[in-house]
Amino acid sequence: MSSKGKVCLAYSGGLDTSVILAWLLEQGYEVIAFMADIGQEEDFEAARAKALKIGASKYVLVDVRREFVEELCFPAIQANAIYENVYLLGTSLARPVIARAQIKVAQQEGCFAVTHGCTGKGNDQVRFELSFYALQPDIKCITPWRLPEFFNRFAGRSALLAYAAEKGIPVQQTAAKPWSTDENLAHISFEAGILEDPDTTPPKDMWKLTVDPLDAPDKPETFTVVFEKGIPVKLIYEDGKEVTDPVDVFLTANAIARRNGVGRIDIVENRFIGLKSRGCYETPGLTLLRSAHVDLEGLVLDREVRAIRDQFVTTTFSRQLYNGMYFTPECEYVRSMIPPSQKNVNGQVRCSVYKGNLIILGRSSATEKLYDANESSMDEIGDFEPTDASGFIAVQAIRLKKYGRAKHENGEAY
């Protein structure tokens, strides 16, 4: 038994966490290498062999794909979660289920501490550690990239590579692709390296999940998403094929979006810790499912319910996810507000994708009672009395007339 005790490392198989694994062993810790299968395209067997070769006493792989989809991605779709109007929170959504799985492994293996490879400038250190402490308040967290004895020793990539060579750690040379990535079933992120210049256009070969829209098929592809209480329960595609299992629905949406170049964004965002960061993201299936959900809500959701949900639940839940506040009383409270807003979000949305674009072809619902084609028609009066609009406008205009008079009396102009 190691003199310093046993720790559970969130291991990726990459350079940083491989060096951290060797460094922890050098410091006298016994290390359990934990990996979460959250849908990333990864050679898990190679990662296992690498971790054990470096010296981990055990490698544990946990499949969290289903809970990721059902517990995080689907509620995010129901809430139309989005950060700063563009980012669909692909990385943020994954952190709660990874942290929960890591704590469970740490408990099962008798670890006194957990550790990770997050940098001291990013959001993930906050997301993981706040989750750890909420899930197991007495857990210890070892944070190499915030320890002077570590970051002074490994001041740059060359120092990491030199240490890896010294320890016989196999690494993939990535000089040709100088950026870092993080992938899960919902998306992949690209940041750092050449992308730190916000005016540098990402090279074409950076994008991994989606085909270049210019190279996408010349024929549109159609599909239909069926929702029950705001959750996508069925996807119909390729002339009648259907999938209903939650993970299969998500994977099928991914496949459709990927081959048609849908889901790319390139943004500068505000990190929770106060820095701005440039990130490029591919979020194929989630883009399709969320967009279809937004469209269906226009048909079936009450105006005031939607306004309150948009103004409070959507923005607050999105910020909580981004900031790593999932396992908090306030997030639990906000999540409880999502299902009531979705009880009438039932129906289907017909869609088409073409060269990076998502086009809504139509929507319908067997249960909605809010939209009345006759009432809304410009070709017939129906039950709506046009003269009622005169009183409506007159009442709305009362305060505006007062405001206009006051501005006029003060010599102000619009």
Among all residues, which ones are annotated catalytic? 16, 95, 124, 180
Q: Is 67 helix (H, G, I), strand (E, B) or coil?
A: helix
Q: Is 400 helix (H, G, I), strand (E, B) or coil?
A: helix
Nearest to 119 by CA among 154, 169, 165: 154
Q: What's the CA gap between 180 and 177, in Å, rounded?
A: 9
Q: What's the CA gap between 236 and 243, in Å, rounded?
A: 7
Nearest to 193 by CA among 207, 203, 179, 205: 179
Q: What's the CA gap between 289 and 255, in Å, rounded?
A: 12
β strands within 192-312, DSSP E: 221-228, 231-237, 241-243, 264-270, 276-282
Query: Facing residues of 280 across strands?
Result: 190, 266
Q: What's the CA gap between 170 and 173, in Å, rounded?
A: 10
Polymer length of the chain = 414
Q: Is 257 helix (H, G, I), strand (E, B) or coil?
A: helix
